[in-house]
Structure formats: C-alpha cells, structure tokens
C-alpha cells in the first residue's frame, strides 16, 4: 500500500511503525520475564514436575487465538480484533498474579497465550498488508527492536523482583505496559484497513474448527506422558499410569495433529517446498530450536550452574540483543543488495544457530556442568543467527503471500511457530522428567533435552538449502509487491 514511500519512518508510515513496535514490546517483556522466573514460581507452587507446562499452557491456546485473529482480520477492521486480544492478555496477568496453585497459574497462562496469539496475528497481518516488499525487511528489523529494552531490563528486573520480593509482582508489573500499548496504538489501528478478498473468506471458513482440533491434539500429545501429574491438578490421583495408556493418548494426539496441520498450512510446508511453504517452515523450525535451547539453558544455569534468576536473565538478554543485531544487519544488506540473496542469508543464520546451540549442549553433556562464559558467547551466536534467518524467512513469506490473504499467511507461520515451540519444549520436558526419574544426572537430562533443538535447526538448514537451489523465482501472480 505504501510502496511509494522510501522509509518506514516517513510521515506516512511512522505512526503505524511505532504502534506495531509498541504492540510487540508487551509480549517481549512477558516472554523474557516469565522465562526468567519459571524455576522460582514452579518451586514455590510445588510444580517442578510441571515445569514445561508453564510454557505449554501459554502456547496451546495461542493456536486458537492465532487462527481466529487471522480469520477475523481478513474480514473486519483490525482494531476490532486487536483490543479484545490485549484485554484477555491483561486478564491472564491478573489471574497469574493471584495464583495460589499450579492449576490457577496455568489457567492464567492460557488466557495470556490466547490473547498474545490473537495480538501477534493481527500485528503481522497489518505489517504484511501495509508495507511494500522492499520496506518489509526494515519494518521486521524495527519490530525486532521491540525486544531491545525488554531484553536489557526485562530478565534482570524480573529476576531481581523474584529474588528480592516475590514472583507475583512480575505479573503485576506487566499490567501498566498493556495499558500504555493500547493507548499508543489506538489512533493508528483505528485507521488501518486491509484488502479483503472473497476467495480468502472461503479459505478461512474451516480454519477455526481445524485450529481447535489442532490445539486438542497438541494437548493430548503433550499430556500423555504427564497424565498423572495433570490429573493431580484437578484433584484426581491416577497413581502410576500404564505405559500403554500413555502411548495411546500420545498417539491419538498425533492422529489429530498431522492431518489437521496439513490442512491449515500452505500445501508443501511439510516438504519444505520452495518458496512460501519453505519460508514458513524455516522460520518456525528456527523458532522452535531457539525456544528449546532457551528453556533448558535457563533450567541448567539455575539448577546446577550456580546462577541466580537475575544472573541467568543477563544471558537471555545477550541473546535477545544479538537477535536484534542480526535482524538489523539483514535489513541493511537487503537495502544494499536487494532480495536476491535472501535464501543465502537464511542459511547463514541457520548455521550460526546450529553452532551456538550445539556448543551449549556439548558443554553440558561432556562436562556434566554448564560454564556461563561459554553459554553467553554461544547464546549470543544463536541469537545472531535467528535474527538473520527468522526475519529473512518472514520477509520471504510475505513476498509470496497471495494478495488479500495477509491474515491467513500471518496466522499460518505464527501457527507453525507455536506448534514447533509447543512440541519441542514439550518433548524436551518429557525427556527431562523421564531421564531424571530413571536416575540420570541433571546435566545429562538437561543436555539431552537441549540437544533436541539441533534436530529442528538441521531441518531449517535443509529448508534454506532447498530455497537456494530453487533460485529466486518471481513473485507469484496476485502476490503482494
């Protein structure tokens, strides 16, 4: 729409740019803060055995929120989707702050997750529709700056508050940010209108029921190994669950997940077929690998690395800063060399992630400990890599998005982000709990869980290689330019 303007910061775009950055900032604060305090709050609520479910309870409802918002933003003014989303986000924070048990805390995390999914889907759809292809790398890099201030102060403040006062105040402290974000985006988002396409309405019609089935399948897949622990949340004591029951519930989840996800995503996504399907797959595989490593790095540093919550938060901050650095770097290269080199930049970022995450996992497994200087450097490299490949893949996905399907495409890649995150962190949590129960040392168990990220990142490398081999085909007819 704004392809005649040379900058995302000119008078035609600046309000939309600032509003979008502000919207992402509150999610950034939430994510970094909660990742920092999870070891503390699970210990306080006697929920160490449900450590992974603090993240799963946030991620699974995002599946529904993301698809619902992606559908609605293609058929109504975006503000009508965005503001109910941040209201649910705020309600979830209040529930978590008041939680006196893991069941209440997880309920609050579900509200936050649903609201966050709807909010992100709306913001990305607005970005895809409102900026020309040559400006999208710049706005995506600018969006990554929404993580700068949260990454500088979020984990440190959250850790300090949890160590000195109580983890509940971390949730309370996030509420003013929601109010500020709503106020700053109000005028801008009221004026945004997206292109509507009758064909998109037909495509979107079945997506919400499919998203609900996918969320249910994801829950069953993750709940199978943790069935007894989850049952205790509602007052039932199942005792030792037979292995056949665990396998059956997990398998049922897969039966629901695989065909449903295939229907929700562009054809060829599972095959990483260039270009749009591979770009969506690359972005999500990188995100899932990053989330797995982040989750179990924090666990390792806090559990057997001898670091406090605030000290662990500093290492997370470094990774967030290098993520932003990588994103800004790719935007500058894009301005100089254009879009032709996007697949190679995506490969460079994926390889950097493999190296960084692999070094941390090797350190934990080989030394039976974790050395924070090596973790900091390696996590910085991982952050730099995802900043390059994640943002580049997003720009590629938007460039191949059919016109009028901004919400559908944004919800597709966000949906796969959530799925790869939930499955990766969930399987990692199962591996952690199972190996600890079998008598493994904490470093061995954490190292195995962390190594799962390398499977995701290896697939991301393959997606980038496939796009390089495909060359740089022209934007398909009807796609945005």
Q: Which of 95-99, 135-139, 185-189 is least confident?
A: 185-189
Among candidate residues 227, 249, 264, the one where a domain is terminated: 264
Is 139 in the same domain as 287? yes
Determine, yes or no, domain membership for 387. Answer: yes
Determine, yes or no, domain membership for 59. Answer: yes
Q: How far is CA 194 from CA 78, 90, 122, 138, 205, in A?
A: 8, 26, 11, 20, 18
Please tell me the predicted confidence (pLDDT) of residue 440: 94
Q: Which of 337, 327, 284, 476 is nearest to 399 (CA)?
A: 476
Whether the per-residue pLDDT at 481 is higher than 50: the answer is: no
Is 283 in the same domain as 228? no
Determine, yes or no, domain membership for 477. Answer: no
Average pLDDT of 80-104? 92
Among candidate residues 264, 283, 303, the one where a domain is terminated: 264
Average pLDDT of 82-101? 92
Is 385 in the same domain as 290? yes
Average pLDDT of 141-166? 74
Is 299 in the same domain as 322? yes
Determine, yes or no, domain membership for 110. Answer: yes
Determine, yes or no, domain membership for 393. Answer: yes
- Confirm if 2 and 135 have CB atoms less than 8 A apart: yes
Please tell me the predicted confidence (pLDDT) of residue 459: 96
Rounded to 10°, the helix 372-399/309-337 angle is 40
Q: Which of 331, 323, 207 is nearest to 265 (CA)?
A: 207
- Confirm if 450 and 303 have CB atoms less than 8 A apart: no
Please tell me the predicted confidence (pLDDT) of residue 371: 93
**Rounded CA separation 464/365 (Å):** 29
Q: How far is CA 232 from CA 133, 237, 312, 370, in A?
A: 51, 6, 31, 33
Domain limits at 251? 206-264
List of residues 6+ apart from 304 with CB closer than 8 A: 369, 370, 442, 443, 446
Determine, yes or no, domain membership for 476. Answer: no
Determine, yes or no, domain membership for 8. Answer: no
**Rounded CA separation 457/394 (Å):** 16
Is 213 in the same domain as 295? no
Is 305 in the same domain as 215? no
Tokens of 101: 């048990």
**Rounded CA separation 208/216 (Å):** 12
Is 255 in the same domain as 272? no
**Rounded CA separation 92/107 (Å):** 8
Please tell me the predicted confidence (pLDDT) of residue 204: 64
Q: Which of 106, 120, 54, 123 is nearest to 287 (CA)?
A: 120
Is residue 230 very low, low, confident or very high in pLDDT (cuts 50, 70, 90)?
Answer: confident
Please tell me the predicted confidence (pLDDT) of residue 368: 94
Whether the per-residue pLDDT at 6 is higher than 90: the answer is: no
Is 296 in the same domain as 360? yes
Is 153 in the same domain as 191? yes
- Higher local confidence (pLDDT), 403 or 53: 53
Determine, yes or no, domain membership for 5. Answer: no
Q: Which of 30, 124, 149 is nearest to 391 (CA)?
A: 124
Sign of CA dihedral 142, 143, 146, 151: negative
Q: Which of 13-17, 252-256, 258-262 is least confident?
A: 13-17
CATH number at residue 62: 1.20.1250.20
Question: CB 165: neighbour CB atoms within 10 A?
Answer: 10
Among candidate residues 220, 241, 264, the one where a domain is terminated: 264
The per-residue pLDDT for range 433-479, each reduced to its tens digit, is 889 888 999 999 999 999 999 999 999 999 999 999 987 665 554 44
**Rounded CA separation 275/279 (Å):** 6
What are 246-252's contacts with CB under 8 Å, separation 24+?
A: 248/224, 249/220, 249/223, 249/224, 250/220, 250/221, 250/224, 250/225, 252/217, 252/220
For the chain, what is the HEC assignment?
CCCCCCCCCCCCCHHHHHHHHHHHHHHHHHHHHHHHHHHHHHHHCCCHHHHHHHHHHHHHHHHHHHHHHHHHHCCCCCHHHHHHHHHHHHHHHHHHHHCCCHHHHHHHHHHHHHHHHHHHHHHHHHHHHHCCCCCHHHHHHHHHHHHHHHHHHHHHHHHHHHHHCCCHHHHHHHHHHHHHHHHHHHHHHHHCCCCCCHHHHHHHCCHHHHHHHHHHHHHHHHHHHHHHHHHHHCCCCCCCCCHHHHHHHHHHHHHHHHHHHHHHCCCCCCCCCCCHHHHHHHHHHHHHHHHHHHHHHHHHHHHCCCCCHHHHHHHHHHHHHHHHHHHHHHHHHHHHHCHHHHHHHHHHHHHHHHHHHHHHHHHHHHHCCCCHHHHHHHHHHHHHHHHHHHHHHHHHHHHCCECCCHHHHHHHHHHHHHHHHHHHHHHHHHHHHHHHHCCCCHHHHHHHHHHHHHHHHHHHHHHHHHHHHHCCCCCCCCECC
Is 182 in the same domain as 211? no
| Residue 316, beta-bridge partner list | none
Average pLDDT of 122-129? 82
Is 140 in the same domain as 270? yes
The per-residue pLDDT for range 293-333, each reduced to its tens digit, is 998 998 899 889 988 777 887 888 788 889 889 988 988 88
Q: Write down the mean pLDDT value for the chain.
A: 84
Q: Which of 21-30, 202-211, 247-256 is least confident?
A: 202-211
List of residues 6+ apart from 414 with CB closer than 8 A: 62, 66, 70, 117, 120, 121, 124
Is 173 in the same domain as 285? yes
Q: pLDDT > 70: what percent of the chain?
A: 90
- Confirm if 444 and 362 have CB atoms less than 8 A apart: no
Please tell me the predicted confidence (pLDDT) of residue 406: 64
**Rounded CA separation 405/70 (Å):** 9
| Domain count along the chain | 2
């Amino acid at each position: 729409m704004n392809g005649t303007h040379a900058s995302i910061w000119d008078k035609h775009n600046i309000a939309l740019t600032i509003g979008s950055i502000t919207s992402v900032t509150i999610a950034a604060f939430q994510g970094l803060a909660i990742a920092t305090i999870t070891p503390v709050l699970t210990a306080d609520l006697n929920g160490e055995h449900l450590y992974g479910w603090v993240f799963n309870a946030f991620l699974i409802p995002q599946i529904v929120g993301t698809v619902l918002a992606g559908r609605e933003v293609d058929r109504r003014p975006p503000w009508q989707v965005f503001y109910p989303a941040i209201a649910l986000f705020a309600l979830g924070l209040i529930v978590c702050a008041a939680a006196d048990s893991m069941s209440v805390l997880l309920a609050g995390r579900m509200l936050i997750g649903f609201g966050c999914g709807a909010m992100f889907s709306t913001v990305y759809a607005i970005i895809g529709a409102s900026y020309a292809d040559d400006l999208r790398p710049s706005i995506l890099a600018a969006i990554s700056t929404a993580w700068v201030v949260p990454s500088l102060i979020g984990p440190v403040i959250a850790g300090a508050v949890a160590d000195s006062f109580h983890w509940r105040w971390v949730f309370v402290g996030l509420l003013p940010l929601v109010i500020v974000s709503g106020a700053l985006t109000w005028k801008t988002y009221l004026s945004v209108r997206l292109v509507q396409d009758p064909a998109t309405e037909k495509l979107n019609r079945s997506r919400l029921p499919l998203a609900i089935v996918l969320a249910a399948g994801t829950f069953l897949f993750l709940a199978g190994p943790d069935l007894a622990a989850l049952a205790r949340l509602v007052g039932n004591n199942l005792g030792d669950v037979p292995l056949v029951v665990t396998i059956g519930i997990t398998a049922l989840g897969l039966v629901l997940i695989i065909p449903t996800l295939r229907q929700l995503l562009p054809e060829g996504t599972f095959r990483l077929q260039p270009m749009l399907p591979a770009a969506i797959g690359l972005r999500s595989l990188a995100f899932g690998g990053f989330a797995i490593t982040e989750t179990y790095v924090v666990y390792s540093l806090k559990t057997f690395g001898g670091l406090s919550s605030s000290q662990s938060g500093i290492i997370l901050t470094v990774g967030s800063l290098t993520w932003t650095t990588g994103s800004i770097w790719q935007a500058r290269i894009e301005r100089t060399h254009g879009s032709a080199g996007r697949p190679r930049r995506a490969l460079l970022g994926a390889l950097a992630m493999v190296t960084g995450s692999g070094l941390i996992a090797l350190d934990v497994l080989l030394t039976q400990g974790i050395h924070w200087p090596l973790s900091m450097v390696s996590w910085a490299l991982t952050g730099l890599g995802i900043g390059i490949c994640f943002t580049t893949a997003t720009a590629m996905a938007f460039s191949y998005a059919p016109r009028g399907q901004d919400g559908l495409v944004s919800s597709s890649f966000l949906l796969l982000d959530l799925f790869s995150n939930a499955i990766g962190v969930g399987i990692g949590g199962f591996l952690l709990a199972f190996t600890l129960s079998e008598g493994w040392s904490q470093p061995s168990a954490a190292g195995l869980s962390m190594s799962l990220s390398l499977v995701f990142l290896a697939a991301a490398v393959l997606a980038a290689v496939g796009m390089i081999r495909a060359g740089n085909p022209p934007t398909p007819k009807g796609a945005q330019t």
